[in-house]
């Protein structure tokens, strides 16, 4: 039996970078913290805590020390507050998110009504919003785009992890709203790359294992996509693997969601290999 890892899986560049930056700034005396959990994976947060990087929900929880901004980014007020409180700030905002923030800021300064295409409750979208001068409309669906009143100058940016197809569809509704529309496609390719690699692998194997949180939207999406090509199981950890799944299987493919740490992927890989 052959066990094959997808060519692109697990953490994206921005999350890997943020974790490296957090590790470089760890302090055993407990004075380094990320603002919000670095990723939505409790095991990773715990591991970092043991290495000397805690988590705070707000800067008000810190009297001194060093605060690390996670890959989702934050608004300008957080930088100002850190400075006024005398906290050292290390910025691990993903460069792609930074670009979306600056694009929204520039559009706003140039007098555009800014539309952010993305999920209203996503921390990255909230951070992009904070960089606009006069606020922005956050649009998640075609219906919301249709409901937007006509306006003069319309500037559009996008949540980096938003689906390209849905962005295109929402933009086609927005084109009706203004004669002066500037569209900045600030989507990052990490999600597409992960999905494409998973689908390519799923076509070649008898069974796919998709590793990641059951509450992770991008992992669930990966599992749905793989299931269109072959028998697929979505597992959170190696403990869920079942022997009978391997019956009559020659090739197993493995992929993982954006918040799945490498060591969890390796455990699944090794366990499959040991049964090969």
Is 72 annotated as a binding-site member?
Answer: yes
Based on the shown chain and the rule CB under 6 A, indicate whether residue 160 belongs to the binding site for ligand F3S: yes
Question: Alpha-carbon distance 160 to 162, whole Å?
Answer: 6
Q: From 11, 1, 2, 4, select the one nearest 194 (Cα to Cα).
A: 11
Question: Alpha-carbon distance 89 to 250, whole Å?
Answer: 51
Which residues, 6+ apart, have CB-to-CB distance to 105 below 8 Å?
A: 131, 132, 133
Binding residues for ligand F3S restricted to 174-193, rule: CB under 6 A: 188, 190
Residue 237's SS3 state is coil
How many residues touch ligand F3S under the rule CB under 6 A: the total is 12
Based on the shown chain and the rule CB under 6 A, indicate whether residue 94 belongs to the binding site for ligand F3S: yes
CB nearer ligand F3S, residue 188 or residue 207: 188
Question: Which residues is 253 bridged to in the sheet?
Answer: 4, 208
Is 234 annotated as a binding-site member?
Answer: no
Is 127 annotated as a binding-site member?
Answer: no
- With helix as H, strand as E and coil as C, how does 57-102 read? CCHHHCCCCEEEECCCCCCHHHHHHHHHCCCEEEECCCHHHHHHHH
Based on the shown chain and the rule CB under 6 A, indicate whether residue 118 belongs to the binding site for ligand F3S: no
Is 58 annotated as a binding-site member?
Answer: no
Which DSSP category does 112 fall into? P
Binding residues for ligand F3S restricted to 27-86, rule: CB under 6 A: 71
CB nearer ligand F3S, residue 10 or residue 155: 10
Based on the shown chain and the rule CB under 6 A, indicate whether residue 245 belongs to the binding site for ligand F3S: no
Is 20 in the active site? no
Q: Which residues are catalytic?
A: 124
Q: Residues annotated as binding site? A: 12, 40, 72, 94, 122, 160, 188, 216, 218, 259
Report the interface residues with ligand F3S, using CB under 6 A.
Answer: 12-15, 71, 94, 96-97, 160-161, 188, 190
């Amino acid at each position: 039996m052959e066990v094959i890892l997808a060519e692109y899986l697990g953490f994206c560049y921005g999350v890997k970078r943020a974790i490296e930056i957090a590790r470089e700034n760890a302090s055993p005396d407990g004075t380094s913290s990320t603002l919000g959990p670095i990723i939505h994976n409790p095991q990773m947060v715990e591991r970092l805590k043991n290495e000397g990087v805690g988590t705070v929900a707000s800067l008000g929880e810190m009297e001194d020390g060093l605060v690390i901004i996670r890959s989702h980014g934050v608004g300008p007020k957080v930088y100002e507050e850190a400075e006024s409180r005398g906290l050292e700030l290390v910025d691990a905002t993903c460069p792609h998110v930074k670009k979306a923030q600056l694009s929204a800021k520039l559009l706003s300064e140039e007098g555009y009504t800014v539309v952010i295409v993305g999920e209203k409750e996503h921390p990255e979208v909230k951070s992009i919003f904070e960089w606009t001068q006069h606020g922005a409309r956050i649009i998640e669906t075609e219906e919301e785009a249709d409901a937007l009143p006509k306006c003069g100058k319309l500037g559009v940016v996008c949540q980096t992890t938003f689906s390209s197809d849905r962005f295109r569809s929402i933009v086609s509704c927005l084109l009706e709203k203004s004669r002066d529309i500037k569209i900045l496609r600030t989507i990052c390719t990490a999600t597409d790359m992960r999905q494409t690699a998973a689908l390519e692998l799923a076509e070649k194997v008898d069974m796919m294992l998709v590793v990641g949180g059951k509450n992770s939207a991008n992992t669930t999406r990966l599992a749905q996509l793989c299931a269109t090509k072959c028998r697929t199981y979505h597992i959170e950890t190696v403990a869920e693997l079942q022997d009978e799944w391997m019956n009559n299987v020659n090739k197993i493919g493995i992929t993982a969601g954006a918040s799945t740490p490498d060591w969890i992927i390796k455990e699944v890989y090794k366990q499959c290999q040991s049964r090969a």
